[in-house]
Structure 1
Amino acid sequence: MSANRSAQQSTLSSFLEVARTSQFAWFIGHVVVLFSSALYLLTFRGGSSGFHNTLYRVMYLGVIESFSVIIDQQHLRSTNKTSPRDLLLDDNVLYLGVALLWIATPRLTITMVPYVVFSLFHFLTYLKSVLLPQVFHLSENSKILTLVDSFVRQNNDKSMNWSSFSELCCLIIVLLRALLWYPRSWIVAIIYSVFIKVRYEKSPYMKSCVKKWEVRLDGLVSHPKVFPQVKNIYMQFKSNIRQLGKYNLAGPSPATSAAKQN
């Protein structure tokens, strides 16, 4: 009994020590995201309800809290000064800004997907790196740590691809809603299109996803049964997108800058 009580006290003491950190506050934000989104999906029956609207907003409150903590750590409390432009183009700031957009506009379920994916992997990483070894004192060779580590390693790239795919699907829906004049749809379409443009410039996963979509659409449009008018519209659309691609919002990549200097 004495040994068990001592172990419990040690675990509690370790947990309280971890719970005082800002990283734990960041972790709690991801827990809120996962819990509220799981409850949202498990009880979803279609349509709109006050309960699901509340869960949706709570999920985004968790997102805002977790991203705010990391931005505070990386920029506001850092001794290294960040220029306003670099701050605005930081991935965490971008995703925080989009989360504020979603929480302030009518509910759109698909927007939850990338945040849930991010939170799942952040949750597992924190579990593996902090909670299990520091609070529950599991060794590096324990089966639980090995399984979690293996899952994260094997699925990290897949998770980024899933996120990029869901973001592109969301863009299509947002643009369609704008064309149908949903409430506040045009401001959402403009802001989210800029977000996707910056993500395309910065993320190899987004570029890969866009390329896959382009190849798939090229194959569909090139089919002999597709009307020539449709093919012309598609080619004009691609031409316009390429013209927009010349305007780089995120600035030149490091490789491009180095090439210019050489």
Structure 2
Amino acid sequence: MPPKATPSSKSTIKQQSSLTQLITLLKTQQFYWFLGHVFALLFSILSTLTGLIFKNQLSLKYFRFALISNIITYGIVIKQIHFKSSTTSSNVSRIKLINDENIQYLVLALVFLLSSYILKTQNQSALYPYVIFGVFHVVTYFQNHLITIFIPSIPAQQHLNSLINNFTSQLNQPALYAASSVELVLALTTGFDVVISSFWLILRWNFFDYITKVIVFLTVIIFNKFKFDHSQYTKASVLQMDQTWNGYVNRLNNPKLTQLFFNFRDLVIRYLGLINIPKDVKTTQ
């Protein structure tokens, strides 16, 4: 009959077990996906705070770090989905890649990252959708993999699990709506930036910066159109925005302005209709 374990030996065994679990996690790509989201959230917060308190250059530095962290996390997911081996890599179609939301978000982050080096400025709103998704990814990963390692008490684990379940169940859908709304606002802000830059182009003639802003705007537009084609949250956000603008215009009670608005609206819808996402199997993050 083996000797009974003393409390101290039980504690040691439990610590060794937790350490073993942690070492096992360290060997998985998913753990570095989790770390990527953690760093992305940290750098996003630092970018926002330093932008409010210190010079813009420091905020821009953290802005770039946040985008790089997001690019790494989406890169890990894309590799796991499409490039597990050389055999699967050769069979991945371009249409399937384009349809993958993970690649769409990676391209969007990459465009904002490259443009920040050219324009020497940042669009803080570009980080917000990644922050929203990142919070849920970090919380869910912690619940599924880390809570038993760092919180030894079973009652504490159960209480925290309950809190996380309530958080995700109650806020998941509103968060998806919020992310879609931010992405639409991003289209408006980048478009407004292009319009303003069109006037400054005549005075300063900084053509390279202007083209960069146009590319960013078109990327955001295409990104939103792709999401609109298969996301109920983006469709709902577009409908809500359309109703809001219609209400503003109707309250002006100006027939000429109303007609001008609806002509412009129809023109935008017509051109956006030309952007069609290729039909294939969709994969989401």
TM normalised by structure 1 equals 0.88
Establish whether residue 22 from structure 1 lines up as the match of residue 13 from structure 2. Answer: no
Q: 1:92 matched to which residue of 2?
A: 102
Q: Deviations 1:3-60 (Å, cap 9, x if unpaired)?
A: 3333222211111111110110111110111111122233332685222111111111
The structure with more radius of gyration: 2
Q: Deviations 1:86-137 (Å, cap 9, x if unpaired)?
A: 2122100000000000111131101110000010010111111121146656
Q: 2:205 matched to which residue of 1?
A: none
Q: 1:126 matched to which residue of 2?
A: 141
Q: 2:43 matched to which residue of 1?
A: 36
Structure 1 residue runs without a partner (length 5+): 255-262
CA contact (8 A) 2:95 2:279 kept: no
Q: Which of 63-72 and 241-250 deviates more?
A: 241-250
CA contact (8 A) 2:181 2:237 kept: yes
Equivalent position SS for 2:115: coil
Distance in 1 between residues matched to 2:178 and 2:153, nearest whole Å: 31
Pair 1:138–1:25, CA change in 2 (3 A) = farther
Q: Deviations 1:178-221 (Å, cap 9, x if unpaired)?
A: 11228221111112111111111121100000000111111111
CA contact (8 A) 2:44 2:62 kept: yes
Equivalent position SS for 2:76: helix
Hey, which of these two has a bigger chunk of helix by percent? 2
Pair 1:202–1:47, CA change in 2 (3 A) = farther
Q: 1:200 matched to which residue of 2?
A: 228
Q: 1:210 matched to which residue of 2?
A: 238
Distance in 2 between residues matched to 1:246 and 1:202, nearest whole Å: 14
Distance in 2 between residues matched to 1:170 and 1:226, nearest whole Å: 29
Amino acid at match of 1:90: D
Amino acid at match of 1:156: N
Q: 1:162 matched to which residue of 2?
A: 178
Equivalent position SS for 2:51: coil
Amino acid at match of 1:127: F
Equivalenced residue count is 253
Distance in 1 between residues matched to 2:266 and 2:52, nearest whole Å: 41
Q: 1:243 matched to which residue of 2?
A: 270
Q: Which of 49-58 and 4-13 deviates more?
A: 4-13
Pair 1:247–1:137, CA change in 2 (3 A) = farther
Q: Which of 37-46 and 193-202 deviates more?
A: 37-46
Q: Percent identity?
A: 24
CA contact (8 A) 1:201 1:248 kept: no
Structure 2 residue runs without a partner (length 5+): 1-7, 117-121, 201-208
Pair 1:49–1:238, CA change in 2 (3 A) = closer
Q: 1:230 matched to which residue of 2?
A: 257
Q: Which of 35-44 and 87-96 deviates more?
A: 35-44
Equivalent position SS for 2:78: helix
CA contact (8 A) 1:128 1:149 kept: no
CA contact (8 A) 1:11 1:136 kept: no
Offset at residue 229 of structure 1 (A): 2.7
Offset at residue 226 of structure 1 (A): 3.9
RMSD of aligned residue pairs (Cα, Å): 2.3
Q: 1:260 matched to which residue of 2?
A: none
Q: 1:103 matched to which residue of 2?
A: 113
2:81 aligns with one of 74, 81, 93? 74
CA contact (8 A) 2:132 2:175 kept: yes
